Each structure stands twice: as C-alpha cells, then as structure tokens.
Amino acid sequence: MEADLKSLATPYNRAHHRFAVFTACATFVLIIAGALVTSNDAGLSIPDWPTSFGSFSVPPLHGGIKFEWSHRAIAGSIVLLTISIAAWTWFADRRRWMKWLGIAALATVITQAILGGLTVLLFQPPWVSSAHAAVAQTFFCIAVAIAMFTGRRWVEEVPQIEFDHRRPSLFTLTLLSIFVLYVQLILGAMFRHHGMSWWPHVANAAIVAFVLTWTAIRALSQFSRIEAVRRPAIILVSLMIAQLCLGFIAFLTRVAWGRDAVQPELPMVISTVAHVAVGALLLATAVILAIQVWRQVPVSFEETVPTRTRKTVAA
C-alpha cells in the first residue's frame, strides 16, 4: 500500500518544471502569432502546406508572408518542445496521469498541426479555422496545466482542504465558466473567420461576464483563505474586465469603424490580437482555478440515512 502511494508521488524536478513553463510561454507567443495571421488576413498568403512555396527554406518575408511563415516556424518549434516535454514527463515523472497528460499534449499539438494544414489546403473553411483556434487554446491550457503540475507548490505542498457545502458547488461554477468561455471562443473564431455574424459573440459576452463574476465572487467570498484559489479568482475577474474592454475596442475598430476598410488597419490588428491573447489567458486561468478548486475544495455530499429501524426477523 505504501509502495503504491509512493509511486503516485514524484519529486520536484526544477529543470522539468522550467522547461514546462517555457513551453507554455512559447505557446502563448504562438497564439499571438496566429492571431496576427488572422488579423492581417494573411492566412492563405502561402498557398501550400507543409512546404512554403514548394520548399522548407525561408521565403522572402514581405507582406502577409512574414506573418504566416513566422506562425509556421513558431508552430514547428512548439511541436518539438511538446515532443520533448512529453518524453521527459514519460520518463521522469512518476505520476501515471502526468505521463498520459504529456501524451495528450502531443496528440493535441499534432491535431492542431493537421487542422492548420487543412485550413490552408481547404481555403479556410470557417469550421476548420475555428477548430484550429479552439484547439490552439486547448493546447495552451494543457501546457499551462503541465507547468502547474510540475511546479514545486503542486508537488510538495499539502492542500488546505475545505469542504464546499453550497449548491451549485464552486467546482460546478468553474466548469460552467470553462464551458461558457469555450462557447465564446468558438463564436469569436467563427466571426473572425467569416462563418457567423458578430452578435452571437457579443451576446454571449454578457453570459460569460455573469458566470465568471459569479464564480470569482463565490471563490473570493467563501475560500479566500486558500491562496491557490484566491489568486486565480482575482486574476480571472481582472482578466475578464480587461477582456470586456478589449472586446469593446475590437468591436469599434473592426465592426463599427473598420467596416469599409480596404485592408486590416493597425488599431483593429492590435485590439483584436490583444483580445485573442487575453482570451487565451482567461481560459487558462479558468482551467487553473477549476483544478485548484477540485484539489482544495472537495464537494461535500449529504447521505440520507433511512430513519426507520429494521427489525431483525428470525427465519
């Protein structure tokens, strides 16, 4: 039994953790690079894939090519980083579920690469491009989670467990937050890739704001003593406010003022890229909060015991 428990734990590995943090940061850079491609309408500036103009060498980086090729180069690096982190986790981490999380990260990044190729070869159908955007942020969340799970706090600290008696539970609210953020991500991606009007994304922003505020208030009012819950809850609500402001600016620059723009203008590019980047941070924060709540705040269940006493009857 003791041996089984020991096999579930793993010692803190500083190099492994730092590499995981680096991979997560590089993924964030990749999300910004991808947002720059879409915002500059440069997604098909290189018409072939996986080669670029029939070759793997660097093409002349002018016009939209510099955005698309940079995105491909960073994406290639991320694939290599993910292979490394998956292999490192597989061999160095004792936790079985962590080994499989590394493999899941690798599977996600390969799926993402395939979706990236399909979006070029099929001329950016909105559903493929939106799936590419959604899987990108899913991979970012996995990379952030790996960084957290390999961190000293997660590995060495004993959770401060407090039971959650209220309904809906905080854990349910965090899952609901992730769900509405995913819906928002897909609606936003569909709008950006011309598969849908802007209004479903704007309408759902109100739902996202309500659910995230509810989640953050519940976390801060009930479990503010637990730092692992308090910190992501504060970050969640701060990012949400920033994201709403950026969304409003992006709406003004892209929909209201930029309707007749002959090309992507700098204000619309900056506001939209920032909106995508903060959106990714917001989703990752919601995932971190959910994981920490799952770990630190277990949901209590009341078991109803029958009041009637059973009489023993002799056979």
Which of 48, 156 has the CB closer to other proteins? 48
User: Which residues lie below 8 Å from residue 221, measured CB to CB, with a gap of 6+?
Assistant: none
Q: Does 255 contact other proteins by CB under 8 A?
A: no
Q: Does 257 contact other proteins by CB under 8 A?
A: no
Note whether 138 and 281 are within 8 A (CB).
Answer: no
Tell me the closest approach of the beta carbon of residue 251 to other proteins, in angstroms.
20
Question: How many CA within 13 A on the CB side of residue 118?
Answer: 15
Alpha-carbon distance of 24 to 308, in angstroms, equals: 57
Question: Six-digit token pair at 268?
Answer: 């619309």
Q: Does 290 contact other proteins by CB under 8 A?
A: no
- 164 bridge partner residues: 299
Q: Does 74 contact other proteins by CB under 8 A?
A: no
Kindly write out the interface string for residues 188-227 of this chain, putting x where it contacts other proteins by CB under 8 A and - elsewhere. Answer: ----------------------------------------
Q: Which candidate, 79, 11, 22, places its Cα nearest to that of 87?
A: 79
Number of H helices, E strands in the chain: 10, 0
Which of 45, 296 has the CB closer to other proteins? 45
Tell me the closest approach of the beta carbon of residue 90 to other proteins, in angstroms.
9
Which of 60, 306 has the CB closer to other proteins? 60
Question: Six-digit token pair at 172?
Answer: 């349910």
Among 13, 21, 26, 64, binds other proteins (CB under 8 A): 64
Q: Which candidate, 184, 193, 197, 183, places its Cα nearest to that of 125?
A: 193
Among 32, 65, 74, 245, binds other proteins (CB under 8 A): 65
Tell me the closest approach of the beta carbon of residue 127 to other proteins, in angstroms.
16
Q: Which candidate, 216, 185, 220, 222, places its Cα nearest to that of 200?
A: 185
Amino acid type, 192: R
Stretch that binds other proteins, among 74-82, 115-123, 183-191, 270-278 (CB under 8 A): 115-123
Binding stretches for other proteins (CB under 8 A): 40-50, 53, 59-60, 62-65, 103, 107, 110-111, 114, 117-118, 121, 123, 260-265
